Structure 1
Amino acid sequence: MSAQFAPLTSCDVLIVGGGSAGIATAASLLRRRPDLDVRIVEPSEHHYYQPGWTMVGAGVFTPQRTQRRTEDLIPRGAQWVRGSVAAFDPDHDRVELTDGRWMGYRMLVAAPGLKLDWAAIPGLAETLGRNNVTSNYGYQTAPYTWDLVQATRRGRAIFTQPPMPIKCAGAPQKAMYLSADYWRARGRDDIQIEFHNAGPVLFGVKEYVPALMKYVQKYRIDLNFGSKLVAVDGPARTADFAVTGPHGETRQERRAFDFLHVCPPQTAPDFIRHSPLAAESGWIEVDDATLRHKRFENIFGLGDGCSTPNAKTAAAARKQAPVVAENILSLLDGLPMRAVYDGYGSCPLTVERGKIVLAEFGYGGKLLPSFPKWLLDGTQPTRLAWHLKAQALPEIYWLGMLRGREWLAGPDYVEPAPQLHRAQA
């Protein structure tokens, strides 16, 4: 860092990252206090509704339905700073941008998302999007998934899941179930489906496993736990796995494929991992409940890039944003923080076209359903959950979450629950 510091500008709240978590937090802040000086640092021209990519890979959504211009989503009253952060200087309440600009702040919100580490698997980046290798984790490659699903008529179809944490832990399975449903409906019984999961279980919350196992059996899926993808040879159509045995021993296996859907390893972004904000794990070190940084009192973190042990989903960011907004305003007013996050995350597991197992849970795997069981039993596949994901959730995202409308997303409070700064819907 330069020894000389003359900030280009300063603001009340500086938000690093204009993805789901960053824009939602800005919107929640400005709904509560419209005159707040809020700035969002974000380099990307386009913003993506990433939960929709599963549906793109199944031919349900067009890619265009999941993309909008960033400038159209910046909340009224916030300023978009087009750029990227190079370094954090939390001891002096400032950040440096990659173009040399400096920005000061009273409060900092770090919402950088995470890094899809395609390069961690040798051969993957070179063959992704061709040679029958695809992934619903990319805007450019999700349409290729649908192309391959339609074209595949026989052979071996492999779906992979890397070690946790990853965003939307159910996404690798969603791609598999929807693909299998398409093939089964068309009598393509010569396709052998394999699921290679680096972890030890099908899903981390046991209440949802029985329903998922029924579909595993229905689609005749070969489950391989402790099986981690370590290399891909696209032209040769082979994938190498490190397989961990029951006693911890590891062996290498090479599998030929005719269809390969990859979920890449995921880490905190490099500029976070190498910053003072990072925990030893590389993620932004925050308190699990208040989302305030554990070492810097005027810094908060949320979304996929922070250290909280919740499922990394847009639904989690939707619940986290109001908590951060409430607690920031409390601190600016000299009041104690009261808003707390319970670890809520949601994973709509698309088990077939038209039915979803709606997994909703918080810290420790506690079930946190949004609807009464008589209306929607999330542990069972339902058509109502499908309509929720296919029709309601995209609109809730664009028109609700990113505009500070906190439908079913208001924060919980520690007692006594205050009535401060509550947003108007």
Structure 2
Amino acid sequence: MDHHEVLIVGGGNAGISLAARLIRDGAQDVAIAESESVHRYRPMLNYVGGGEATMDDLERPAASVMPDDATWIQDRVVSCDPGGPSVTTRDGRTIGCTTLVVATGLDEDWDAIPGLKAGYAAGWAGSTFLVESSPKVWPALRDLTRGRVVFSMPPEPAPCAATALKPLSMACDHWQQEGVLEDIDVHLVLPGPTPLGVPRADAILEGVLAAYGVQVLRNARVTGAGARQVTVTTPDGEIVLDDLTYAHVIPTYRAPTWIADSGLAGDSEAGLVDVDPLTLRHRRHDAVWSLGDVANLGIKPSGGALRKQVAVLSPNILAKDTDELEQYDGYTVMPITVARHRLMLVEIDREGQPAPTVPFPDLVQPRRMTWVVDRYALPVTYFKRILRGKV
């Protein structure tokens, strides 16, 4: 059986940036289990779906982003023995380790919205959250002059759920500029009473939605789809939105099933890894850690949150004295466009209180410059510094 000091399951932002940071911090034997041959800067998918980027802007060969001193296990983990700890891969390999880190991200739970996957296949539904679907979203929305369109924000857990508002605002701004917005019936399905649950940001977003004439269904979820229609469950009962021109409906998410099957999940309905949200260590298995979307950290997951998590987790894994571990404050960030080229940056802590990284300017106020940073500067920073453990 192969054995590594640190085995990271998942080669996305969380896994790669943590591996690079561990190696920079002195770890000698780090392995990454990742089956995909292409690595993607996933926040850019929203810009692809808004006509502001292409897939070439966000994709790189996985081999080009793997840390030079890490071992790449190009296989998919399908089960785990946390007591070992060890994992078993799709190809039947068993790999042991001293420290196991779960950084898989989340899987789409298509069964939670019956009929939605068929809607994607038929082309009248899709979303910027999926690699295969994102390039098809803008061609479907760009030339609309009338009709009914529904957008949804997924319930937590989800990979930066708030960014589901990006394609809505970019499309509405485009339709407004084309003079057709008044002829398009736009609906938004929100899982909560407000977009974010952050009062000042919500006030701005509510004004934006009202200005675009968006009809908002609150405390609601899409629970079914079929024949160009979606069923929305609200506190007052079910609503059917039919005769849809397009549905930008994002699937529900959950952790890979092997996590719950291996006993790593707690009481999370979505099967998230049961970790201490401060130290990121598993509550019952001291050799197991987790970060990112798949970890039950009590926050709204985001790529920006990972930078803080990596900065805590790397020293904690390497710590000699486990009684004095670093603690993660729950920082997360939600970048949301309010128009094609204007963006607000909402930074909060675990309690939902403002946690700005700079004292000025006020990044919650939508600005063109913030959009430029999100669209152009951050992707460069991601590939040149974040994935190399330098941020």
TM class, shorter-chain normalised?
A: over 0.9
Q: Secondary structure at the match of 2:169?
A: helix
Q: 1:319 aligns with which of 303, 308, 314?
A: 308
Kindly indicate whether the alpha-carbon contact (under 8 Å) linking 1:171 and 1:349 is maintained by their aligned counterparts in 2.
Answer: yes
The Cα of 1:118 is off from its aligned counterpart by 2.7
Indicate whether 1:291 and 2:276 are aligned: no
The aligned counterpart of 1:223 is: 216
The aligned counterpart of 2:64 is: 72
Kindly indicate whether the alpha-carbon contact (under 8 Å) linking 2:155 and 2:161 is maintained by their aligned counterparts in 1.
Answer: no
The Cα of 1:147 is off from its aligned counterpart by 0.3
CA distance in 1, matches of 2:322, 2:209: 52
**Residue identity matched to 1:170:** A
Kindly indicate whether the alpha-carbon contact (under 8 Å) linking 1:41 and 1:80 is maintained by their aligned counterparts in 2.
Answer: yes
Kindly indicate whether the alpha-carbon contact (under 8 Å) linking 2:84 and 2:97 is maintained by their aligned counterparts in 1.
Answer: no
Kindly indicate whether the alpha-carbon contact (under 8 Å) linking 1:56 and 1:142 is maintained by their aligned counterparts in 2.
Answer: yes
Q: 1:51 aligns with which of 29, 38, 43?
A: 43
CA distance in 2, matches of 1:287, 1:82: 29
The aligned counterpart of 1:110 is: 102
Kindly indicate whether the alpha-carbon contact (under 8 Å) linking 2:275 and 2:281 is maintained by their aligned counterparts in 1.
Answer: yes
Cα RMSD (Å)? 1.5
Higher mean C-alpha displacement, 83-92 vs 280-289 = 83-92
CA distance in 1, matches of 2:385, 2:300: 21
CA distance in 2, matches of 1:194, 1:219: 11
Indicate whether 1:348 and 2:335 are aligned: yes
Indicate whether 1:369 and 2:363 are aligned: no
Q: Secondary structure at the match of 2:242?
A: strand
CA distance in 1, matches of 2:12, 2:141: 29
Indicate whether 1:181 and 2:173 are aligned: yes
Q: Secondary structure at the match of 2:83?
A: helix
The aligned counterpart of 2:382 is: 397
Distance 1:129 1:353, change over 3 A: farther
Q: 2:235 aligns with which of 209, 234, 244?
A: 244
Kindly indicate whether the alpha-carbon contact (under 8 Å) linking 1:162 and 1:199 is maintained by their aligned counterparts in 2.
Answer: no
Higher mean C-alpha displacement, 354-363 vs 121-130 = 121-130
The Cα of 1:254 is off from its aligned counterpart by 4.0
The Cα of 1:132 is off from its aligned counterpart by 2.5
CA distance in 1, matches of 2:13, 2:88: 23
**Residue identity matched to 1:356:** L
The Cα of 1:335 is off from its aligned counterpart by 5.2
Q: Secondary structure at the match of 2:149?
A: strand
Unaligned runs of 5+ in 1: 1-7, 407-425
CA distance in 2, matches of 1:165, 1:358: 20
Q: 2:292 aligns with which of 278, 286, 303?
A: 303
Task: Provide TM-score, normalisation by structure 1.
Answer: 0.88
**Residue identity matched to 2:106:** L
CA distance in 1, matches of 2:86, 2:157: 29
Q: 1:387 aligns with which of 372, 378, 391?
A: 372
Task: Provide TM-score, normalisation by structure 2.
Answer: 0.95
The Cα of 1:20 is off from its aligned counterpart by 0.8
CA distance in 1, matches of 2:241, 2:185: 16
Indicate whether 1:196 and 2:185 are aligned: no
CA distance in 2, matches of 1:98, 1:131: 31
Q: Deviations over 1:354-387 (max 9, x none)?
A: 11111111101021112223x2x12211122111
Kindly indicate whether the alpha-carbon contact (under 8 Å) linking 1:316 and 1:346 is maintained by their aligned counterparts in 2.
Answer: yes
CA distance in 1, matches of 2:87, 2:103: 14
The Cα of 1:26 is off from its aligned counterpart by 0.2
**Residue identity matched to 1:261:** H
CA distance in 1, matches of 2:10, 2:353: 29
The aligned counterpart of 1:31 is: 24
Q: Deviations over 1:168-226 (max 9, x none)?
A: 12122111111100000110020111111232222122221111112112101111113
- Report how many residues are paired: 388
**Residue identity matched to 2:107:** K
Q: 1:85 aligns with which of 77, 83, 103?
A: 77
CA distance in 2, matches of 1:216, 1:272: 38
Q: Secondary structure at the match of 1:194?
A: strand
Q: 2:318 aligns with which of 329, 351, 368?
A: 329
The Cα of 1:127 is off from its aligned counterpart by 2.3
Q: Secondary structure at the match of 1:394?
A: helix
CA distance in 1, matches of 2:229, 2:278: 44
Kindly indicate whether the alpha-carbon contact (under 8 Å) linking 1:316 and 1:345 is maintained by their aligned counterparts in 2.
Answer: yes
The Cα of 1:336 is off from its aligned counterpart by 3.7
Kindly indicate whether the alpha-carbon contact (under 8 Å) linking 1:303 and 1:317 is maintained by their aligned counterparts in 2.
Answer: yes
**Residue identity matched to 2:13:** S
Q: Secondary structure at the match of 2:21?
A: helix
Q: Deviations over 1:309-347 (max 9, x none)?
A: 1121111112211211110111xx345443211111111
The aligned counterpart of 2:112 is: 120
CA distance in 2, matches of 1:253, 1:237: 10
Q: Secondary structure at the match of 1:108?
A: strand
The Cα of 1:162 is off from its aligned counterpart by 3.2
Query: Radius of gyration: which is bigger?
Result: 1
CA distance in 1, matches of 2:145, 2:172: 11
**Residue identity matched to 2:373:** L
Kindly indicate whether the alpha-carbon contact (under 8 Å) linking 2:162 and 2:195 is maintained by their aligned counterparts in 1.
Answer: no
